[in-house]
Amino acid sequence: MNKPLIIVNFKTYQRAQGHSAEVLARAMGSVQTDARLVAAVSALDLSSVVDAAPNLEVWCQHLDPISFGSNTGWIHPETAIARGAKGTLINHAEHKVSLEHVAMLLDQVPEGFEVCACAAGMEEARALAALVPDYVAVEPPELIGGDISVTSADPGVVSGTVSAVVQTNDQVQVLCGAGIKSGKDVTTAMSLGAKGVLLASGVTKSPNPSESLSELVSLL
């Protein structure tokens, strides 16, 4: 748990879906690092990515707190777990849910299954931390997918979120997201108190994902 955590969100980028998701997962699995690498993939690709990269930790991008039954189009936690998911993202800026949704999901998933709840800023991070997920990832929406890292554009939102979360529940760890592209971004995030990063396009859009991943962890 002390290793820096780097979550690569595959989103629905063309280079990170279907067969390409398997190729990207294998590239992640080949990176030599002491950091903990996690691939957050589409539920549709979960099984194939787990099979393609058995040495890589794989999470689902989203889950719903539902029971078995009439829930067309929703993603059941037990099904994801059976397909190899070790954790999930929830409340990403591109898939917002209610605090009740997050709370119900946390009540439903088994011990050891990790949940990273995403927050747009400090106040939302504080509210999510009160529910005690494993991680809260702060990602200012205006910087997601951009070329400027939150660690450069607004380092105060990272350190401020760390303080807000620790004051709420010191068992919850903070991740930093939005615009993370380099090893310096990763180490800066950690110097501000984050335990790791959540990123996407810096890897999923890279012409050489293995090289980009290696650079991301090069200063750890």
Active site residue ranges: 92, 139
Task: Spell out the residues 6+ positions from residue 34 whose beta carbon is closer than 8 angstroms to its own.
Answer: 3, 4, 220
Residue burial 97-109, b: 16+ Cβ < 10 Å; e: rest: beeeebbebbebb
Contact 48, 21 (CB under 8 A): yes
Helix-strand-coil split of the chain, %, nearest 5: 40, 15, 40
